[in-house]
Amino acid sequence: MSYFNPEHRRRKSILPLLTLGSLCVFILYYAFAANQRTVPVLPENAVRPHLVHWLEENPDAWPAQDPIFNPAAVRKIYQRTDYRLLWFDNYSLSDSANDLLKQLTAASSGNPSSMVDYRYHLGYFDRTLRDTPQRLQMAAVLDILLTDAFVSYAQDTQLDRLKPKTRPRRGITPVLRDNEGFRLVATSTGEQQASNEPSGRKYFRGYDRAANLGSNVRSRYYSREYNTDTSGNYSGRNYSGTTRNYERSRYRSYRDNNSGSNSSSRVYYNQGRSNSTSAPIRSENSEGPYYEENKPYGNDVRALRGELQRLRKISSSGRWRPIPPGPAMTMGARHPHVSHLRNLLALYGDYQSYYSYGGTDRNRFDRGLHQAVMRFQKRHGLRPDGIVGRSTRKRLNLSPAARARIVEMNIKRREELPEQLGSRFIQVNIPAYRLKYVENDQVKLAMNVVVGKKKHATPEITTRVSKVVFNPTWTVPRSILVNEILPKARKNPAGMEKMGYRVISGRGEKLPLTPQNLSAAGAGSYLMRQMGGEENILGRIKFEIPNIHDVYLHDTRARKLFSLTTRGYSHGCIRLEKPRHLAEALLRPQGDWDQWRIDQLTTGEETTEVDMSQLVKVYITYWTAWVDGQGNLNFRPDIYGKDGLADNQF
């Protein structure tokens, strides 16, 4: 039989093919792995032209959305380093940059202020650093913003609030590259160098560095050490029960005997301390020393009438046009709507002159327009980020005719109050979520406040401060008791008792939260009261202002609300961001009141009441338009719908 007969042909083995294929796969795998381990090398001077162009030749051509907050310092740093990248290792961020980002994020995480993220460019870093930057331009932008953020952080953490005469001379070189990463280099005195205490503030805008870094950092606040006797009274009045009483003369005597020749001097932590081993009691929520702001109050009705005439002229001129729908606009953008935005802000007076900022492209969102947008946002209570998004566009598109109508209604509201509001008074403007304490037409203290929800609207009233209560108790109103407190107390009586809640009988006895006592409180036979202390819903300080609505000014445990743009969360009362500063400002004329005395009264659980010996008026107003002390016309949304204008409602 023939060999080529198909029946006798042998089958070929596939083993050589498998061997060859495996070898090819093995070679390709190692070639790919070797390629992955290859790090691209960034040319030394490749980014220098971009840095020189943006920092020296044409700063208005800056391509990033975020501005540079420290242009002079950043420019000087890059001049010293011959315009080289400081935060990159080839195309990747260096370990120093990663350490800096972690520190900035930690500082911002405990900060109630929304401007910190913007000041440190954290939003831009979060959007950009999701992928490794492979373009030279992006690397240059990131490097400049990291340097700017580092300078801002160094300013916030390294400079103490010392008096000019006592502030030590400092020579800070912001960036030093070494094996340990980035660090500050400062010229210090011998006494400071010998100290083992770390420099910088313990509290960085709400960020407790000692708690987060695990270090025993002393407070940056000055210290005065004294003991206060509790056997006396205020103004000859005795308080019984749990009320703590003090004797002013004893307090003065101790202060004079222990403060040396300069009894009014205040000692900072880096200027030496007393040898006394006893430390003053300081509240965990201490707000530090109170510094008067001394800004003009304004809010004159004649200025408001002048703005009304200006808005009527703008409306009748026909020059106003709303911005059409489109994308969000920010610095560096090029769009036909940018020119429209420029004209609109110039019409309102926020954009002074286009040509004063240089450049010829009116469709480019330059630095001058960015500043104008921020001015407009501040006047309207928006977050001043310089980005024309949905909220800013809505406020820009409020027509001059509608604005004139709003101003007319607010002129009537201002005329309902006395022309002269008094030498000392407090004004709370509900739509602005803002309180101002004024002396002799100068704003001495201003702070954010939380006002009532729309269904629990804070009323417009004129009253006075009758007393200041430290560690106040809270008698639960009937509506809150039935709808909120009683269900919680029945579900968890032990937890509510731990928070200080007690049932109060008709004879004033404090009863436990038993089912029988809770039923009696629900029926109206007994009251429900929360004792003073850290868990009290009113916080540590309450300002009683007599009124038929049973509202008052008080502290709060919900501190995070003050960082929000809209702050309508209460049941009608007004929660204060800085109650201790307000107490010090009000009580200063009555004697020796400072932060340490107030801090002592706001510890523990004992209640102290201090009557006001001088009249301080309180005006709780509803102004959606007013002219401030700098002559700027401000607007706020109509949060309670009292203006009747849908375009201005929140």
Nearest CA to 554 out of 455, 456, 450, 480 is that of 450
Per-residue tokens: 616: 């301080």
Q: What is the pLDDT of residue 138?
A: 80
pLDDT of residue 579: 95
Q: Return all residues near 609 (Cβ < 8 A) that are at least 6 apart.
A: 239, 243, 467, 468, 469, 470
Say whether 463 sits in a helix, a strand or coil.
strand
pTM of the model: 0.61
Q: 321-398, which class in CATH?
A: mainly alpha
415 exposure class (CB count in 10 Å sphere: 0-12, 13-18, 19+): exposed
pLDDT given at position 200: 34
- The yes-or-no answer on residue 573 being catalytic is yes
Q: Which two tokens stand for residue 539?
A: 């916080």
Residue ranges, the chain, pLDDT below 70: 1-13, 29-44, 60, 65, 91, 109-116, 129-135, 158-285, 353-360, 650
Concatenating the DSSP letter of every residue in 175-242 gives: ---BTTB---B----HHHHH--SPPS-SEETTEEHHHHHT--PPPSS-B------SSS-BTTB---TT
Task: DSSP letter for 608, please.
Answer: E
Catalytic residue among 50, 370, 380, 573: 573
* 290 contacts 618 by C-beta, under 8 angstroms: no
pLDDT of residue 411: 96
Please state the domain extents for the chain: 6-37, 221-280, 321-398
Q: Is 81 helix (H, G, I), strand (E, B) or coil?
A: coil
Q: Return the CA Rg of the chain.
A: 32
The sign of the torsion formed by the CA atoms of 134, 136, 141, 146 equals: positive
Phi and psi, residue 428, nearest 5°: -110, 115
Asked if residue 228 lies in contact with residue 183, where contact means CB atoms within 8 angstroms, the answer is no
pLDDT in tens, 336-352: 899 999 999 999 999 97
Q: Phi, psi at residue 472, to the nearest 5°? A: -70, 155
Q: What is the pLDDT of residue 88?
A: 82
Catalytic site residue from 50, 370, 554, 581: 554
